[in-house]
Amino acid sequence: MSVHAASRHRVLIIGGGYGGLYAAKALDKAPVQVTLLDRRNFHLFSPLLYQVATGALAPSEIAQPLRLVLRKQRNARVLLGEAVDVDAAARTVSVADGTTIEYDTLIVATGTHHAYFGHDDWADHAGGLKTLEDALEMRARILASFERAESEPDEARRRSWMTFVIVGAGPTGVELAGALCEIARDALPRDFRAIDTTKAQVHLVEAADRVLPTYPPGLSRAAARQLRSLGTTVRTGTRVVGVDEHGVLVATEAEGEPVRIDAMTVLWAAGVTVARFGRALAEATDASTDRAGRIEVAADLTLPGHPEIFVVGDLAAAVWHDDRMVPGVAQGGIQGGKHAAATIKARLAGEPLPTFSFRDFGELATIGRLRAVADFRRVRFTGVVAWFLWVSIHIALLIGFQNRMLVMNRWIWSFLTRGRSNRLITHAGARPPPPDRD
Amino acid sequence: MSVHAASRHRVLIIGGGYGGLYAAKALDKAPVQVTLLDRRNFHLFSPLLYQVATGALAPSEIAQPLRLVLRKQRNARVLLGEAVDVDAAARTVSVADGTTIEYDTLIVATGTHHAYFGHDDWADHAGGLKTLEDALEMRARILASFERAESEPDEARRRSWMTFVIVGAGPTGVELAGALCEIARDALPRDFRAIDTTKAQVHLVEAADRVLPTYPPGLSRAAARQLRSLGTTVRTGTRVVGVDEHGVLVATEAEGEPVRIDAMTVLWAAGVTVARFGRALAEATDASTDRAGRIEVAADLTLPGHPEIFVVGDLAAAVWHDDRMVPGVAQGGIQGGKHAAATIKARLAGEPLPTFSFRDFGELATIGRLRAVADFRRVRFTGVVAWFLWVSIHIALLIGFQNRMLVMNRWIWSFLTRGRSNRLITHAGARPPPPDRD
């Protein structure tokens, strides 16, 4: 307790994703002073980023200003700024603008961003999907490819503009592949005169031996079948060994020599690494990290030796039970954030501390219109039922009533018309032609 | 007529704004082959850009993909590309990607963008409002200013972060000022803890002796009164003589010395100039231009000596009657584009040519919730009636049924809640602190 009787316990939360935001909300009415610090002024519903990238939704529909979410919570304030370092002994966090914030308890939920397995030069040719800007850039690349194909007289190059390679067949890669096939098949054909967009090719490349490798094998098979029925070329057991402006080089166990896929558009849905502040935190506290840089936490989600520092969301490498890790999905963040808040409240009240146990609701991925797979552990679904479950759960997880209404309207509209109305090429647009173009 | 009996008359339209798009649509079913070339893949409803800049609307709600608008018009194709030059003798236009497009008739509708009276260095400190990117940048600047004020301990600097200067009191400047006052007064107060956003100051600076200088004086007075009631400081007869990162330097006739307004956020709503292709066209055809670079056209909107080249929209300096110019608003483009299409059809059919006469529907500007001014020439309105007229007309002018529904929903929502839900800071965000910040 502080020497100032009046001063409240200060909780600093870094990151306004699911982990940070649910921690802040769960501290409502607690006798603490909450500061939520984020580089961005909004909460982002990242599971739907691929829908922004493929023109189904607008950016504002999957994001909500943090101030708006917390406006009625009087013990919480929002600060815009980038945390750069932590002094665990002094209990302060330094911010990029030069200021310093003191804390009594720190909750770190800064998440991960995509990584290129050490090949950072691939980033120029293969955009990832972690931010709204990424999504708009990816949307611009996809749409600009069709535009380039429309005005391309050379047959081989036109085919190359209409070939898309998606690297990584986790939920994001699978959902991207399905959406891309649907755009080419349903939304775009009547818009173009010179090209037949239904001839577009989508390759989904995955190093593991099946799509959705973290899902049960039966659902992987169902997802692969649904993807193929939409026209995706599923290439499992295939590693990407090179990316340049003309396509990718892939290698399989079976074949000796790497094979080239000529594709002007490569989308990256593989590999994550922790952001700058996560690395600074690990260094400052001598915390152990896993291969991707995720910070290993104790069973109560605190750092060993630092009960005042919680790490939640996908920045944390948290063991759940039987050596299974808490998955890096919205539910992992939500439950971790709520647990940190409950622990803080129990400590201040002198009550018994809660134990963290991840409640696994299962996994879901949508592949397209009326196509999805769902694994609720006790029960599994594929097809239409899974698709309706996917839609309902994602509407429920959105933050903000208006966003729920808007997204539902968009989805109903898209379902009825098979159209994609969010097709603006902004902020990025047509890449310069490759150097050898004559 | 061409030697190839089968080959149709080729109409090339450059620019997908109101002028170009309405020309293309008016050529539906005509015995011509229409190519619409634009740098962007969407039509933009620029009168509502200020609503994107002030968080009322999302970018996709005021834009519509050109391909979607023209998808059913079989004689029209859309090309994405930037026209860079014209060869009027060969009747070809060259595109930035190296291709060349032939035409029989050319319609140029490339419009204007904002200009800084020769002070291009002001652009860094005072963003304009001509593109969707401009609008998102302006939104980010406005919102980031409040964020900076929230975390600023110094009283004078906090005031400077909460002071906004808008340069130019045409419709865009007036509408921006009104919207900014409403955000500070209605939408934001409960979101911040350290600052009182209702204390934000908005200065509207105009060199002419009244706001909305092209409107009848009575409406200018009404608009100024409504702006003041919202809290805007209206500074007419005031020229901007300097802009830097700390504010603007303004001069009036009355006072001798220029006066400084300390403001970290300066928004530019004054001055236009023609874009690159407009200048190339004037050079290639020896066309006369006015001071802003607009191309002087004959009464039928063609270039003197080039009956096969039409210039429509605000790129054209078109005299209407009594030496009045066709105004650079949506109606000017719509009517010009339709006239060009009608002339082409009449020529091909050997029918009498139509004469162009601008039908002046009047002028409208909204100042805020239930506040507006309208001048329909025979009848004028201010206040609530003008506001409802403004809302109805702008909904009607939007392209696309879905956009109309979305914008109407947004406006009803904003009206009921006084909120602004499009408050994401993307693509730009917080500017670096000024150099002398300690």
Query: Cα dist. B211→A133, B214, B291, B324 in Å?
Result: 37, 9, 22, 20
The answer to whether A331 and A355 have CB atoms below 8 angstroms apart is: no
Test A151 with B99 for CB contact under 8 angstroms.
Answer: yes
Cα–Cα distance measured from residue B112 to residue B46, given in angstroms and rounded to the nearest whole number: 12
* Strand (E) or helix (H) holding B392: helix B384-397
Chain A with chain B: Cβ pairs closer than 8 A: 128
Q: Nearest chain B Cα to A71, which residue?
A: B191
Question: Minimum mean pLDDT among A396-400, B125-129, B262-266: which range?
Answer: A396-400
Task: pLDDT band for A326, please (50, 70, 90 cuts).
Answer: confident
Test B421 with A433 for CB contact under 8 angstroms.
Answer: no
pLDDT digits (tens, 9 = 90+) for B246-267: 999 999 877 778 999 999 999 9
Cα–Cα distance measured from residue B349 to residue A375, given in angstroms and rounded to the nearest whole number: 66
pLDDT digits (tens, 9 = 90+) for B128-152: 998 998 999 999 999 999 999 998 9
Is the pLDDT score of A312 beyond 60? yes
Helix A384-397 / helix A401-417 crossing angle, nearest 10 deg: 150
Closest to A59 (Cβ–Cβ): which among B64, B143, B424? Answer: B424
pLDDT digits (tens, 9 = 90+) for B400-418: 777 787 777 777 777 777 7
Is the pLDDT score of A422 beyond 90? no
Cα–Cα distance measured from residue B269 to residue B128, given in angstroms and rounded to the nearest whole number: 6
Q: Is A136 helix (H, G, I), strand (E, B) or coil?
A: helix
Per the residue annotation, which of A175, A182, A206, A363 is the catalytic one?
Answer: A175
Neighbours of A129 (CB within 10 A): 22
- Name, in order, each residue with C-beta under 8 angstroms of A118's C-beta and a sequence gap of 6 or more: none
Per the model's pLDDT, the better-predicted residue between A420 and B381 turns out to be: B381
Test B63 with A424 for CB contact under 8 angstroms.
Answer: yes
Is the pLDDT score of B93 beyond 90? yes
As a whole-number percent, the residues of chain A with pLDDT over 90 amount to 59
Chain B residues whose CB is inside 8 A of the A407 CB are none
CA distance A207 to chain B (A): 33
Report pLDDT for B2. Answer: 37
| ipTM summary value | 0.78
pLDDT digits (tens, 9 = 90+) for B29-88: 999 999 999 999 999 988 889 999 998 888 888 999 999 999 999 999 999 999 999 999
Averaged pLDDT for residues B334-353 = 96
Averaged pLDDT for residues B223-230 = 94
Task: pLDDT band for A299, please (50, 70, 90 cuts).
Answer: very high
β-bridge mates for residue A219, sequence order: none
* DSSP assignment letter at A289: B
* Strand (E) or helix (H) holding A302: strand A302-303
Closest to B193 (Cβ–Cβ): which among A77, A80, A151? Answer: A77
Cα–Cα distance measured from residue B38 to residue B314, given in angstroms and rounded to the nearest whole number: 16
Question: Minimum mean pLDDT among A412-421, B230-239, B359-368: which range?
Answer: A412-421
Task: pLDDT band for A313, please (50, 70, 90 cuts).
Answer: very high
Q: How many CA atoms lie within 13 A of A259 on its CB side?
A: 11
CA distance B431 to chain A (A): 11
Closest to B60 (Cβ–Cβ): which among A42, A192, A422? Answer: A422
Query: Cα dist. B284→A187, A353, B148 in Å?
Result: 40, 80, 49
Cα–Cα distance measured from residue B418 to residue B414, given in angstroms and rounded to the nearest whole number: 5
Closest to A79 (Cβ–Cβ): which among B151, B422, B429? Answer: B151
CA distance A401 to chain B (A): 11
A256, two tokens: 């000796």
The answer to whether B194 and B151 have CB atoms below 8 angstroms apart is: yes
Question: Minimum mean pLDDT among A138-147, A269-278, A368-377, B151-160: which range?
Answer: A368-377
User: Domains of chain B by range and CATH?
Assistant: 9-39+81-114+273-349 (3.50.50.60), 120-269 (3.50.50.100)
A357, two tokens: 């146990």
Averaged pLDDT for residues B261-277 = 91
Report pLDDT for A78. Answer: 95
Strands of the B371-375 sheet, one edge to the other? B363-368, B371-375, B380-382
Cα–Cα distance measured from residue B207 to residue B248, given in angstroms and rounded to the nearest whole number: 14
Helix B384-397 / helix B401-417 crossing angle, nearest 10 deg: 150
- Name, in order, each residue with C-beta under 8 angstroms of A55's C-beta and a sequence gap of 6 or more: A139, A142, A143, A183, A187, A420, A421, A422, A423
Q: Nearest chain B Cα to A58, which residue?
A: B60
Indicate if B175 belongs to the active site. Answer: yes
Q: Is B143 helix (H, G, I), strand (E, B) or coil?
A: helix
Report pLDDT for A427. Answer: 62
Averaged pLDDT for residues B114-135 = 89
Averaged pLDDT for residues B365-374 = 81
Q: Nearest chain A Cα to B95, which residue?
A: A151
Chain B residues whose CB is inside 8 A of the A65 CB are 191, 421, 423-424
Chain length of chain B: 438
Test A65 with B99 for CB contact under 8 angstroms.
Answer: no
Is the pLDDT score of A6 beyond 70? no
The string of DSSP letters for A318-359 reads: -B-STTPBPPSSHHHHHHHHHHHHHHHHHHHHTPPPPPP---
Q: Is B125 helix (H, G, I), strand (E, B) or coil?
A: coil
Chain B residues whose CB is inside 8 A of the A72 CB are 190
Is the pLDDT score of B127 beyond 80? yes
Averaged pLDDT for residues A348-364 = 89
pLDDT digits (tens, 9 = 90+) for A201-238: 999 999 999 999 988 898 899 999 999 999 999 999 99
CB < 8 Å & 24+ apart, contacts of A331-334: A331/A358, A331/A359, A331/A360, A331/A361, A332/A18, A332/A19, A332/A358, A333/A17, A333/A18, A333/A19, A333/A20, A333/A22, A333/A109, A334/A18, A334/A19, A334/A22
Test A427 with B425 for CB contact under 8 angstroms.
Answer: no
The answer to whether B386 and B372 have CB atoms below 8 angstroms apart is: yes
B225, two tokens: 């009164």
Query: Cα dist. A351→A28, A410, B88 in Å?
Result: 18, 47, 85
Task: pLDDT band for B1, please (50, 70, 90 cuts).
Answer: very low
Q: Nearest chain A Cα to B68, which residue?
A: A191
Is the pLDDT score of A405 beyond 80? no
Task: pLDDT band for B273, please (50, 70, 90 cuts).
Answer: confident
Q: Nearest chain B Cα to A69, which residue?
A: B191
B3, two tokens: 């030697």
Q: How many CA atoms lie within 13 A of A151 on its CB side?
A: 22
Is the pLDDT score of B104 beyond 80? yes
Task: pLDDT band for A247, please (50, 70, 90 cuts).
Answer: very high
Is the pLDDT score of A344 beyond 50? yes
Is the pLDDT score of B436 beyond 50? no
Report pLDDT for A436. Answer: 34
Report pLDDT for A117. Answer: 84
Instruction: Look over chain A and give the mean of its residue pLDDT values, rounded to a whole number.
Output: 88
* DSSP assignment letter at A128: -
Closest to B65 (Cβ–Cβ): which among A42, A67, A424? Answer: A424
The answer to whether B306 and B286 have CB atoms below 8 angstroms apart is: no
Is the pLDDT score of B292 beyond 60? yes
Per the model's pLDDT, the better-predicted residue between A426 and B79 turns out to be: B79
Per the model's pLDDT, the better-predicted residue between A314 and B429 turns out to be: A314
